[in-house]
Amino acid sequence: MQLATMAWRTLMRNKRRSVITAFSVAFGVLLSVTFTASGDYAYTNMINTSAVMGLGHLSVEHPDYQDTPTLDKRLLEAEAVRQRALQIPGVTAAQVRIMGQAMFAGGAKSVGGVFIAIDPAQETPAHNIFLRTLIAGQCFSLGEEHGVVVGARMAEKLNLRLGKKLVFTMTDTNGELVSELGRVSGIFKTGDDSVDGGVVLLPLALVRRGLGYEPTAASLVAIFLNDHRQAESVKGTLARFLARSKEITVLTWQESQADLAGLIGVDRLFSYLLQFLVGLVIAAGIMNTLLMSVMERQREFGIMMALGMMPGQVVRLVLLESCWLGILGLILGVVITTPWFLYMATVGLDFSAQIGEDYSAGGVLVDPVMKFRLYRESALCIAGAVFSLTLVAGIFPAFKAGRTTPVENLKQG
Partner 1 sequence: MQILFFALRNFNRARTRTWITVGAMAFACAIMIFYASLLEGWLAGMEKNAVGMDLGEFQIHARGFRADPDLYKRIGGEENVLAQLGRQGFVAAPRLYASGLAAAGNASSGIELRGVDLAREPLVTALNAHVWRGQWLAQEDQAGVVVGRKLARILGLGVGDEVVVVAQAADGSTANELFRVRGILKSVAEGVDRSGFLMPSATFRRMMIVPHGVHQIVVKRQIPAEDLNRATTRLARLLPNHEVRNWRQLQPVLARLFEMSDISLVIMLLITYAAVGILTLNALLMSVFERIPEFGVMKALGFSPWGLFAMIVAESMFQVTVAAFLALAVGLPLSLYFSSHPIDFSGFVQSSSTIAGVALDAKWYCVVTMNSVVLPILFLYLVAGLAILYPALKAAMLKPLAAIHHR
144 vs 358 by CB, closer to partner 1? 358
28 vs 210 by CB, closer to partner 1? 28
If one asks whether residue 181 binds partner 1 (CB under 8 A), the answer comes out as no
Best CA proximity match to 166, nearest among 158, 157, 174: 158
If one asks whether residue 363 binds partner 1 (CB under 8 A), the answer comes out as yes
229 vs 400 by CB, closer to partner 1? 400
Cα three-residue angle 67-73-74, rounded to 5 degrees: 125
Best CA proximity match to 52, nearest among 255, 195, 164: 195
Rounded least distance, CB 305 to partner 1, Å? 21
22 vs 93 by CB, closer to partner 1? 22
Site string for partner 1, 67-106 (x = CB under 8 A): xxxxxx----------------------------xxxx--
If one asks whether residue 263 binds partner 1 (CB under 8 A), the answer comes out as yes
Residue 160 neighbours by CB under 8 Å, 6+ apart: 106, 150, 154, 166, 184, 187
If one asks whether residue 355 binds partner 1 (CB under 8 A), the answer comes out as yes
Rounded least distance, CB 29 to partner 1, Å? 12
Count of residues touching partner 1 (by CB under 8 A): 69
Which region among 49-57, 119-127, 255-263, 378-386 touches partner 1 (by CB under 8 A)?
255-263
Task: Enumerate residues 14-33 that contact partner 1 by CB under 8 A.
Answer: 16-17, 20-21, 23-24, 27-28, 31
Q: Which residue ranges make up the site for partner 1 (CB under 8 A)?
A: 16-17, 20-21, 23-24, 27-28, 31, 67-72, 101-104, 108-113, 156-157, 169-171, 173-175, 177, 193-194, 198, 258-260, 262-263, 265-266, 269, 274, 277-278, 280-282, 284-285, 287-289, 291-292, 295-296, 354-356, 358-363
